[in-house]
Amino acid sequence: MRPVVSVLMPVYNGAAYLDSSIGCVVSQTFSNWELIVLDDGSTDDSHSILTRWAGSESRIRMFSKTNDPKGNVARNIALMCREAKGEYAFYMSQDDTMDADCLERLVARARELDADIVLPDMLLKYADGTCSTWPCSYPPEGDHTQVISPRRAFFLSVDFTIHGFGLVRLRLMADKRNDTRYYDSDEYNSRMQFLWANRVAFAHTTFYYYQGNPDAVTRKFSMRRFQRLETALLIKDAFEKEFTDHRQRGKLMCQLMHFYIDTTLLLFVHEPQLSPDERRHVASVFRKFERQVSFKGYRREVLRHLNSYEQSFACCHFIFGTTRPFSRLYRIIHRLRKNRKG
Spatial separation of the C-alpha atoms in residues 120 and 102, rounded to whole Å: 7
- Higher pLDDT: 61 or 213? It is 61
Proportion of the chain above pLDDT 90, given as a percent: 89
Where is average pLDDT lowest: 37-46, 49-58, 218-227?
A: 218-227
Flag whether pLDDT at 98 surpasses 80.
yes
The whole-angstrom separation of Cα 234 and Cα 239 is 9
The answer to whether 39 and 65 are in contact (CB under 8 A) is yes
pLDDT beyond 90 at 50:
yes
- Confidence (pLDDT) at 212: 77
The pTM assigned to this predicted structure is 0.93
CB atoms within 10 A of CB 37: 27
Predicted local confidence at residue 305, as pLDDT: 95
Band of residue 71 on the pLDDT scale cut at 50, 70, 90: confident
User: What is the DSSP track for 218-276?
Assistant: TTS--GGGGGHHHHHHHHHHHHHHH---HHHHHHHHHHHHHHHHHHHHHHHHHGGG--H
Q: What is the pLDDT of residues 240-287, one digit of tens each?
A: 999 999 999 999 999 999 999 999 999 999 999 999 999 999 999 999
